[in-house]
């Protein structure tokens, strides 16, 4: 079950660390806490965890630095980034570092818990019904769901867990316009509401990684959602 997962919280604010630790323990999680990025890396290297909650602004190695190091080591542990910065460039910086989701401070505990549950669901072992499934193909884009690898032509594209799940959803529904609510439900497990920029930011960053000067693949249908069409 999700509630038996081990979560590492890295935040230099002691009050936030302690309040999150209590709240997550009440939900049944095993919780470890550290005060900075150096301690976070040491903790993960010493004993892997199921999910990391990283504050962006920490002394020494910040949350972005922790994410970059772990991804460079091919550690795919889901990462939820906590940030006081809510502008799009700051969110993109988190995605670029390898975060799977981000949450702006101050936040509601219920929303944080929902995001943790969604990240853990997506990190669950691949279902047996994927055994032997042929890679998905849309034009020169190829996705291997079992190996969780993506190529555009001969170039392999490195994606975070959330980016991969979003692309897989679009590829499995290629040519079909998926509305915002459907995508939020399928990827995050709940709708963030009409004011949320989460989906737009992830779509933007996914486009940057996939297109790289090539023909556009992900199309925006204004007022509705997104679709993936052969470029």
Residues found in the chain: 231
What architecture is domain 136-228?
Orthogonal Bundle (1.10)
What dotted CATH number matches 6-123?
Answer: 3.40.50.2300
* pLDDT confidence tier of residue 119, bands split at 50, 70 and 90: confident
Please tell me the pTM assigned to this model.
0.66
Furthest C-alpha separation in the chain: 51
Q: What is the pLDDT of residue 126?
A: 47
CB 170 within 8 A of CB 163: no
Q: Is the peptide bond before 106 cis (omega within 30 degrees of 0)?
A: yes
Per-domain boundaries in the chain: 6-123, 136-228
Q: Which two tokens stand for residue 100?
A: 């799977």
Residue 31 CA to residue 19 CA, distance in Å, equals: 11
* pLDDT confidence tier of residue 139, bands split at 50, 70 and 90: confident
Least confident of 23-32, 134-143, 168-177, 213-222: 213-222
Tokens 């991969």, located at residue: 164
Q: In terms of pLDDT, which residue wins out, 93 or 63?
A: 63
Mean pLDDT of 46-51: 94
Check whether 214 has a pLDDT greater than 80: no
Q: Which long-range contacts (CB under 8 A, 24 or more apart) does 222-227 make?
A: 224/177, 224/179, 224/180, 225/177, 225/178, 225/179, 225/180, 225/182, 225/183, 226/170, 226/177, 226/178, 226/183, 227/170, 227/173, 227/174, 227/175, 227/176, 227/177, 227/178
CB 191 within 8 A of CB 181: yes
- Dihedral pair phi/psi, residue 106, rounded to 5°: -75, 155
Counting residues of the chain whose pLDDT is more than 90, the rounded percentage is: 38
CB 103 within 8 A of CB 83: yes
Q: What is the pLDDT of residue 194?
A: 60
Check whether 36 has a pLDDT greater than 60: yes
Check whether 192 has a pLDDT greater than 80: no
Q: What is the pLDDT of residue 191?
A: 61
Least confident of 46-50, 70-74, 132-136: 132-136
The 8-class DSSP code of residue 47 comes to S
Residue 171 CA to residue 128 CA, distance in Å, equals: 20
Beta bridge partners of 30: 6
């Amino acid at each position: 079950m999700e509630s038996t997962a081990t979560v590492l919280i890295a935040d230099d604010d002691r009050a936030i660390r302690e309040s999150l630790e209590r709240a997550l323990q009440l939900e049944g999680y095993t919780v470890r806490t550290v005060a900075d990025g150096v301690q976070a890396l040491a903790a993960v290297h010493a004993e892997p965890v199921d999910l990391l909650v990283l504050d962006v602004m920490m002394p020494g190695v910040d949350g972005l630095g922790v994410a970059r190091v772990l991804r460079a080591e091919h550690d795919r542990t889901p990462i939820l980034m906590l940030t006081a910065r809510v502008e799009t460039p700051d969110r993109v910086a988190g995605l670029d570092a390898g975060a799977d989701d981000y949450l702006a401070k101050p936040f509601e505990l219920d929303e944080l818990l929902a995001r943790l549950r969604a990240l853990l669901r997506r990190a669950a072992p691949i279902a047996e019904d994927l055994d032997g499934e042929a890679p998905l193909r849309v034009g020169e884009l190829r996705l291997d769901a079992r190996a969780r690898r993506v190529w555009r032509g001969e170039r392999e594209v490195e994606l975070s867990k959330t980016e991969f799940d979003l692309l897989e959803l679009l590829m499995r529904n290629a040519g079909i316009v998926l509305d915002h609510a459907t995508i939020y439900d399928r990827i995050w497990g709940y709708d963030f509401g009409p004011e949320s920029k989460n989906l737009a930011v992830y779509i933007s960053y996914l486009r940057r990684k996939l297109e790289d000067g090539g023909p556009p693949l992900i199309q925006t249908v204004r007022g509705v959602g997104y679709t993936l069409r052969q470029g």
